[in-house]
Structure 1
Amino acid sequence: MTSQEQRRLQGYRGAPATVTPPRRPGSVRRTTTHDSLRPDGLLGAVTLFARGRDLRTEIDGGATVLDEARLEVEVDYPRRQVRRIVAEPAQPRLAELIGVNASAGFRGAVAEALPGERESGSVRFQLLDDLPTALLVSGYAISAGQAPLPAPVPRPRSGLQYPDLCAGWIAEGTLMSRLTETGVVPISDGPLAPEVEPADPLGWHEHDPLPPHGMRRRRRLEVWRADGIVRVEGFFRDSHRSGDGVETVVHEYTVHATVDPDTRRFLTSEAEIGALPWPECPVAAASAGRLAGLPVAGLRTEVRRNFTGRSTCTHLNDTLRALEDVGALLDHVR
């Protein structure tokens, strides 16, 4: 058995989504994708193509594009510094992010470069906010692609990943035990990624096919009114396409929530698991219920401060944080 085969473990396999629900009359749907590609080889620089769109479905079935944005960001590896960033629509102040670390401190740098962008609830802000973790997860492609492994090293304790960071990284769990034993992070094999692109050409924004060794982070946030309350559905999936062209799921959640339209506070929230990398991960799904009673406004700060430790999941947290934009989308719901 090779060292790569010894590192491969099977992740938690729930029931990955197989369809995208039809667009509901009167609803607003945000879809985003972050494609992390390595055109110069697995150990080369990363180019992230991030795209997104807000679409309102009118009562009569018509569609109106409310907002859309694109980013192309080249990031040095392994230093993770931003080399180049291009946006559509253009935003000259994004040039201030060149040279910034695309992981630690990136969100703070975005706040300084684009004051007020977060409060706008724009598609562009969501693309920027999701970039650090999309880049972090893209490292899966290096291990899965069997790039040369580093020599065994002591267990890492960086500011990004450390014991008890989340349910998957609990000190006595599968990941940390194997990491302590071998000195390298193991590889989790996820289930095949079902196609979720609907027959409806407007169901998702336009994006390119994912090439071999590519990683894709996709999100769908949908807001609509029914029975006197606001209903919310947030779908999230990280997937990897192997060198053979096989796409598998690394992380997947779907969050179902309700919001009081007057107070704009969450009434209920629950997370459905599609797939997760480690056997200990599923316990974190219950943390989604902690949104009940919280205001939509300021949710990114609330989750970042208080959703921490072994009962949480960093990827579910990012999905919950993105629900702050429910307020901006709700303003456009018919």
Structure 2
Amino acid sequence: MTASEAAAVGRTSLGGDLEVSVLGLGCMGMAEFYGDTDDQESIRTIHQALDLGVNFIDTAYMYGGGRSEEIVGKALATVPRENVVLATKCGLLRTEDGVRIDGRPEHIRQAIDESLARLGTDHVDLYYLHRVDPEVPVEESIGAMSELVTAGKVRFLGISEAGPDSLRAAHATHRMTALQSEYSLGTRAPEFGALPVCRELGIGFVAWGPLSRGLLTGTITGVQDFQGIDIRRILPRFAEDNLAHNLAIVARVTEVAEELGCTTAQLALAWLINQGIVPIPGPKVREHLEENVGAASVELSDETMKRLDEILPPNAFLGDRFHGPMMDTVDR
């Protein structure tokens, strides 16, 4: 797809509040987690995404301890601000020992100013609570975030990886425009928890990890494919026995994709788009971005959706989606 074909990337609404492209651009991998990175190629990829009609850019302090936000800020410095729907997050911190959750109001008030400085803007369009802090009532965290809306630093609020009860409590405190959680053909837990609540309350759903950390691209053959420091080396889903099982399932998804004349990744993304979910895949290079954007033009019949459900029903993939410590932070 070329820039002249950007109109093919349609628009959808998050919670009736924000008009965004039907798929966005996740910028986590531009900072770390998936091997080597290249800041200049990341910036070119962000610019290419905008040229192709992808206006929804997602980042967070957590990604590289601010590095992802800095990359996004550099990329957007030459772009009209009104052309971008910019999302970032607070409440998940990097420490010498790893990661710490902090949903305290005083942290949230400080975090937004630091994020805005890195992003080079005076506001973000969507501000998420990255994780629910078990030590702080979610109403207190969201209450502090609502002050940022009043101050004009944030337009709309969201929450990430929240369980149904926390999502309801957050929404009762201040309207939630979106929930962002991992969701894909290989990770379907939201269907039995937060997603029905989103449907009930009119909250948009943004799917991170829509390609199951690369599994649903059909290009991974084993851990030997991972270069540099790559988090997948420690994730249960990529352990040797689990990975062999999971790749055998992906091969069946690839067969369906080939019948439709698209790639495995495009099929996996189209499966989400077809349900009104906004996926935010995280390509680090323009080639992969262009492939992902092609999913916007893949049409899926009810029969194909049923076939995919039969190939990859809930819990078909073996292995948890996170290692132990991080699994404890999700679906709270």
**TM (normalized to structure 1)?**
0.30
Which has the larger share of helix?
A: 2
Q: Looking at CA atoms only, which structure, 1 or 2, has the larger radius of gyration?
A: 1
**TM (normalized to structure 2)?**
0.30
